Amino acid sequence: MDAHGQKSDDDQALLKACRNGDLAAYECLVKRHQRMLFNIALRMTGVSEDACDIVQDAFIAAWQKIGDFRGEAKLSTWLTAIVVNLSRNRRQQSRQRGRHEAYSLDAPFPGSNGEIFPDPPSEAPSALQQMEEVELRLFLHRCIDALTDEFREVLILRDMHELSYEEVAGTLNLREGTVKSRLFRARDAVKECLKKAVGKI
């Protein structure tokens, strides 16, 4: 059995313990999935603080609803769906307040011992190359952020987090054909946006 299958089996064993009120087992599930869920929430909202809150709220909601989870989908898919829904709500609240902070893809991400910064490359590019790369990443982020929720979500889950079409469909409660159609349109929109952006560099 591959590692992915082993992880799913381990999740099932932990879930069984969680349904019996085992908090230690739930803590294991949290540690296993929190980084992946944080990254998704961060991509969805663009704000590190919001992503942290969303993941925390998601795990609280999951614990409260653990008895309702029947295992028809993978646990990771169920948790991701909760995070996506909470991220949608947070983005709507942010738009209503007129507040949306840009997030740099080079920013540190939280770890068990505080913030961890990406390791610098062994052979650093020139200052000009670094500036161009940062600018391109910022343009990419803006292009993705400009997508409507329905297109941005499939792009983030499929292209950035490499979920299968089946997993994306299960997470968003869509048919696979709809996922593929939205993904095609999302990629096309980002490509056109980047073409205009690159011309400004």
Which class for 57: exposed (0-12), middle (13-18), buried (19 or more C-beta within 10 A)?
A: middle
Does residue 45 carry a pLDDT above 80?
yes
Q: What percent of the chain has pLDDT over 90?
A: 38
Domain with CATH 1.10.10.10 in the chain: 120-201
Q: What is the CATH number of domain 120-201?
A: 1.10.10.10
Residue 185 binned pLDDT confidence (cut-offs 50, 70, 90): very high
CATH for 1-103 (1.10.1740.10, 1.10.510.10, 1.20.272.10, 2.102.10.10): 1.10.1740.10
Model-level pTM?
Answer: 0.69
pLDDT digits (tens, 9 = 90+) for 116-173: 444 445 555 555 555 556 677 778 888 888 899 999 999 999 998 889 999 999 999 9
Q: Can you give the pLDDT at residue 83?
A: 94
Amino acid at 175: R
Does residue 194 carry a pLDDT above 90?
no
* Rounded Cα distance, 35 and 32, in Å: 8
Beta-strand relationship, 109-111 and 114-116: antiparallel
Does residue 115 carry a pLDDT above 80?
no
Q: Residue range 20-46: average pLDDT?
A: 90
Does residue 111 carry a pLDDT above 50?
no
DSSP element (H, E) containing 52: helix 48-64
Q: Can you give the pLDDT at residue 85?
A: 92
